Amino acid sequence: MRRFWSILFLLVPILGVATFVAAPYYNIWFPKDVSEHGRTIDNLFMFILWLTGIVFVVTELTLFWFMWKYDERSTKRPVKFSHGSHALEIVWTILPAATLLFIAIYQMEAWASAKMLPPDLKPIVEVTGRQFNWDFRYPGPDQELYTEDDIVRTDGKLYLPVNEDVMLRITSLDVLHSFFLPNLRMKQDVVPGMEQSMWFKAKETGGYDIVCAELCGWGHYKMKGRVYFLPRDQYELKLEEMRLEQNTMRAELPEEEDE
Amino acid sequence: MSTVSTDTHSAAHGEHAHTSSFLKNYVFSLDHKIIGLQFLFSTLIWFFVGGMLALGIRWQLAFPWRPMPILGNLLATAEGGQIPPETYTMLVTMHATVMIFFVIIPILAGAFGNFLIPLMIGADDMAVPILNMASYWVMWPAFIAMGTSFFVEGGASQGGWTAYPPFALTQGDGQFLWLIGLTLVGISSMMGSVNYMTTIIQMRAPGMTMFRLPMTIWGMFITAILQAFALPVLTAAGFMQLMDLKMGTGFFIPEGWTTNNNPMASGGGQPLLWQHLFWFYSHPAVYIMILPAMGMVSDILSTFSRKPLFGYKPMVYSISGIAGLGFIVWGHHMFVSGMNPMLGMTFMVSTMMIALPSAIKTFNWLGTMWGGKIQYTTPMLFAISFVSMFIIGGLSGIFMAATPIDIFIHDTYYIVAHFHYVLFSGTAMAVFGGIYYWFPKMFGRMMNETWGKVHFTLTFVLLNCVFFPMHILGMTGFPRRLADPYHYETFRNLIPLNQFMSYCAFALVGVQIIFALNFFGSMFFGPRAGRNPWKSNGLEWQAPSPPGHGNFDFQPIIYRGPYEYGSPEVDEDYYPQTQPPPEADDETSKDE
Ligand SMILES: [Cu+2]
Ligand SMILES: [Cu+2]
Same domain, yes or no: B74 and B115: yes
DSSP E strands, B208-344: 258-259, 262-263
Same domain, yes or no: A107 and A187: no
Which run of H or E residues covers position B384? helix B378-401
Chain B residues in contact with A72 by the CB 8 A cut-off are 306, 373-376
pTM: 0.93
Same domain, yes or no: A91 and A129: no
Name every residue whose Cβ is closer than 8 Å to that of residue B69 and which is 6 or more positions away in sequence: B81
Query: Is B432 within 8 Å of B381 (Cβ atoms)?
Result: no
Beta bridge partners of A172: A129, A192
Which-ligand-closest: CA of A221? 1
CATH number at residue B117: 1.20.210.10
Same domain, yes or no: B256 and B305: no
Of B249, B283, B317, which one is at a domain's C-terminal end? Answer: B283
Q: Evaluate whether residue B163 is within a structural domain.
A: yes
Type of residue at B501: M
Same domain, yes or no: B294 and B276: no
C-alpha–C-alpha distance, residues B483 and B88, integer Å:
6
DSSP code per residue over B401-433: HSHHHHHHHTTBHHHHHHHHHHIIIIIIHHHHH
The mean pLDDT value of chain A amounts to 91
Q: Evaluate whether residue B23 is within a structural domain.
A: no
Same domain, yes or no: B343 and B440: yes
Q: Which range of residues forms the domain containing residue B391?
A: 290-527
Same domain, yes or no: A69 and A101: yes
| Mutate which: B482, B494, B501, B535, vs A, most A CBs within 10 A | B482
Q: Evaluate whether residue B588 is within a structural domain.
A: no
Same domain, yes or no: B269 and B302: no
Tell me the CA distances in angstroms from B97 to A254, B102, B313, B334, B421, one per residue in order.
50, 7, 35, 20, 17
- Average pLDDT of span A104-111: 91
Q: Evaluate whether residue B567 is within a structural domain.
A: no
Percent of chain A scoring above 90 in pLDDT:
75
CB atoms within 10 A of CB B486: 17
Same domain, yes or no: A58 and A180: no
Which among B336, B360, B481 has the least Cβ separation from residue A187?
B336
pLDDT the model gives residue A80: 81
Query: Is B369 within 8 Å of B303 (Cβ atoms)?
Result: no
Same domain, yes or no: A99 and A171: no
- Average pLDDT of span B405-418: 95
Residue A193 touches chain B, beta carbons under 8 Å: yes
Q: Evaluate whether residue B519 is within a structural domain.
A: yes
Same domain, yes or no: A63 and A147: no
The mean pLDDT value of chain B amounts to 90
Number of structural domains (chain B) is: 2
Q: Is pLDDT of B422 > 90?
A: yes
- Cβ–Cβ of A72/B160 closer than 8 Å? no
Same domain, yes or no: A131 and A91: no
C-alpha–C-alpha distance, residues B267 and B255, integer Å:
4
Number of structural domains (chain A) is: 2
Of B283, B309, B333, which one is at a domain's C-terminal end? Answer: B283
Query: CA B107, B110, B114: angle at the middle one, nearest 5?
Result: 125
User: Ligand 2 centre and the CA of A173: distance in Å?
Assistant: 28
C-alpha–C-alpha distance, residues B126 and B132, integer Å:
7
Q: Which range of residues forms the domain containing residue A103?
A: 4-73+83-115
Residue A94 touches chain B, beta carbons under 8 Å: no
Query: Is A4 within 8 Å of B368 (Cβ atoms)?
Result: no
Where does the pLDDT of residue B8 fall: very low under 50, low under 70, confident under 90, or very high at 90 and above? very low
Q: Evaluate whether residue A30 is within a structural domain.
A: yes
Q: Evaluate whether residue B8 is within a structural domain.
A: no
What ipTM was reported for this prediction? 0.94
pLDDT the model gives residue A82: 86
Closest-CA distance of chain B to residue A36, Å: 14
CATH number at residue A216: 2.60.40.420
Tens digits of residue pLDDT in A124-148: 999 999 989 999 999 988 888 888 8
Same domain, yes or no: A126 and A203: yes
C-alpha–C-alpha distance, residues B264 and B250, integer Å:
10
Where does the pLDDT of residue B263 fall: very low under 50, low under 70, confident under 90, or very high at 90 and above? low
Same domain, yes or no: B101 and B244: yes
- DSSP-derived secondary structure letter, B263: E
Same domain, yes or no: B277 and B330: no
Kindly report which listed range (A222-236, B15-29, B95-109) carries the lowest average pLDDT score: B15-29
Q: Is pLDDT of B261 > 70?
A: no
User: Ligand 2 centre and the CA of B326: distance in Å?
Assistant: 8
DSSP code per residue over B50-74: HHHHHHHHHHHHHSTTSPPSTHHHH
Q: Sign of the C-alpha dihedral, residues B203, B205, B209, B210?
A: negative
Same domain, yes or no: A28 and A137: no
Same domain, yes or no: A97 and A125: no
Same domain, yes or no: B375 and B279: no
Q: Evaluate whether residue A78 is within a structural domain.
A: no
Same domain, yes or no: B197 and B302: no
Same domain, yes or no: B305 and B423: yes
Same domain, yes or no: A136 and A102: no
Q: Evaluate whether residue A259 is within a structural domain.
A: no
Query: Is A198 within 8 Å of A125 (Cβ atoms)?
Result: no
Same domain, yes or no: B207 and B322: no
Same domain, yes or no: B349 and B379: yes
- Cβ–Cβ of A176/B305 closer than 8 Å? no
Tens digits of residue pLDDT in B299-348: 999 999 999 999 999 999 999 998 889 999 999 999 999 999 999 999 99
Q: Evaluate whether residue B25 is within a structural domain.
A: no
User: Ligand 1 centre and the CA of A176: distance in Å?
Assistant: 7
Q: Is pLDDT of B249 > 90?
A: no
User: Ligand 1 centre and the CA of B393: distance in Å?
Assistant: 27
Higher pLDDT, A33 or B7: A33
Query: What part of A 7-66 touches B (C-beta under 8 Å)?
Result: 8-9, 12, 15-16, 19-20, 23, 26-31, 40-41, 44-45, 48-49, 52, 55-56, 59-60, 62-63, 66
DSSP code per residue over chain A: -HHHHHHHHHHHHHHHHHHHHHGGGGT-SSPPP-BSSHHHHHHHHHHHHHHHHHHHHHHHHHHHHHHHHSBTTT--SPP------HHHHHHHHHHHHHHHHHHHHHHHHHHIIIII---S---SEEEEEETTEEEEEE-TTTT-SSSTT-EEE-SSEEEEETTSEEEEEEEESSS-EEEEEGGGTEEEEE-BT--EEEEEEB-S-EEEEEEE-S--SGGGGG--EEEEEE-HHHHHHHHHHHHHHHHHHHHH-SS----
Tens digits of residue pLDDT in B470-510: 999 999 999 999 999 999 988 999 999 999 999 999 999 99
Of B481, B498, B527, which one is at a domain's C-terminal end? Answer: B527
User: Ligand 2 centre and the CA of B328: distance in Å?
Assistant: 10
Q: Is pLDDT of B534 > 80?
A: yes
Q: Evaluate whether residue B505 is within a structural domain.
A: yes
- Average pLDDT of span A66-77: 86
Higher pLDDT, B570 or A59: A59
Chain A residues in contact with B568 by the CB 8 A cut-off are 81
CB atoms within 10 A of CB A244: 11
Same domain, yes or no: A110 and A139: no
Which run of H or E residues covers position B246? helix B215-246
Name every residue whose Cβ is closer than 8 Å to that of residue B56 and which is 6 or more positions away in sequence: B68, B71, B72, B75, B76, B83, B87, B88, B91
